[in-house]
Amino acid sequence: MLDSLIDPFRRTFDFRTRARRREYWLFIAWQVPIVLGALLLGINLMPREDSAAALLGAPLVYVAIFGLPTLALQVRRLHDADKSGWWWLVSLIPYLGLGWLIYLMCLPGTWGDNRYGPDPRQTWQGDLFE
């Protein structure tokens, strides 16, 4: 389970292969409590007059830590649906972009090999009895 947090960091510069929906959404699920915890910790540790700095600094720290691994994972997720990785740019469109990106992240992957590599569902990674 902890691999779902660590593996995207290991594959930070992998923009060519594919990623399953499960891999993407588990990584996102790890990020929510980490970001909320860091935000609450920053607000509670800062003096009251600097609490706005904690609110502004938390997103910057988040992007510095999780930005590139999340981007690479989004590109691999798009590849699994046989779409170009450049589709992540749709998230930059105000109002509708984030919703459309979430829709794209929910699309099922193509069965079998596609132009971005083998199907990650069919790649056996482990021993039957581990």
Q: Per residue in 80-111, pLDDT tens?
A: 999 999 999 999 999 899 999 999 999 999 98
Q: What is the pTM of this model?
A: 0.82
Domain count, the chain: 1
- Examine the pLDDT at 5 and tell me if it is beyond 90: no
pLDDT of residue 118: 87
Considering only CA atoms, give the Rg of the chain.
17
pLDDT digits (tens, 9 = 90+) for 7-41: 999 999 999 999 999 999 999 999 989 888 877 77
* Gap between the Cα atoms of 29 and 38, Å rounded: 15
Q: Which domain holds residue 51?
A: 3-106
